[in-house]
Amino acid sequence: MTEPRTAIVTGAARGIGAAIALRLAEAGHRIAVVDLRVADTERTVDAIIAAGGEAIGLGADVANSDDVASAMVRVVDDLGAPTILVNNAGILRDSLIFKMSDDDWDSVIGVHLRGAFLMSRAVQAHQVAAGWGRIVNLSSTSALGNRGQANYAAAKAGIQGFTKTLAIELGRFNVTVNSIAPGFIATDMLRETAERIGMSFEDYLAGAASEIPVGRTGTPDDIAAAAAFFVSEEASFVSGQVLYVAGGPKA
């Protein structure tokens, strides 16, 4: 029987984050659904509550230390001390390096890396006090390099080093830290990418699927399943790992 705990999932208004929040709620955990605007969290929160779970929505910029501190107070007051954290919040500002602006770089690094740092630093205090914890960080196959994504690739590669370091530091407190590196997952974010390059979403997905060994693109539920494993008691001896969920092998 899974012991109900308080979990925070960032970037959980839609897509992968929403799927993870719903999956962890199904396992009995209380969920803090965090996204940039609280109004955007309502659909995920309502879905969790409709299924019999417990959830609150919070608006916070994870790259802002004041926002993170305020969110943490609210989580503790409303749901109890958080011992599960899924750092999923992310943005894209794709551009070739010669066209990439300072803001394109800083905003992506800020949300992905600074955001994961601020959230993890805040939550680890509760995990250490409880003598139990799970942190799951979202990386990407782009960490291996991807044209037009110098900022995103650097951030996602950084997430992997961050994950391994926290696993070393927090392991003695019974806290595991792992990373999921999704491949091509059909989300609204990629729908926007397809629109930007002038392709239909269907053609974009079909083109990607043709290059994936299992012959299909991924879904948010594929990533949620991996997150649920890392959070589980069965994964207590798995830490510092990067799991590529990409329909085929990655280096």
- Is residue 240 left, alpha or beta, with left meaning phi > 0 and alpha meaning psi from -120 to 50? left
Active site residue 244: no
45: tokens are 């929160």
Whether residue 226 contacts residue 180, with contact meaning beta carbons closer than 8 Å, is answered with yes
Residue of 105, 117, 132, 152 with catalytic role: 152
* Rounded Cα–Cα distance for residues 4 and 25 (Å): 9
Secondary structure (DSSP) of 75-86: HHHHH--EEEEE
Whether residue 227 contacts residue 136, with contact meaning beta carbons closer than 8 Å, is answered with yes
Pairing of the two strands 55-59 and 242-245: unpaired
90: tokens are 């992310």
Q: What is the largest CA-CA distance in the chain?
A: 54
* Rounded Cα–Cα distance for residues 224 and 23 (Å): 6
Active-site residue numbers?
152
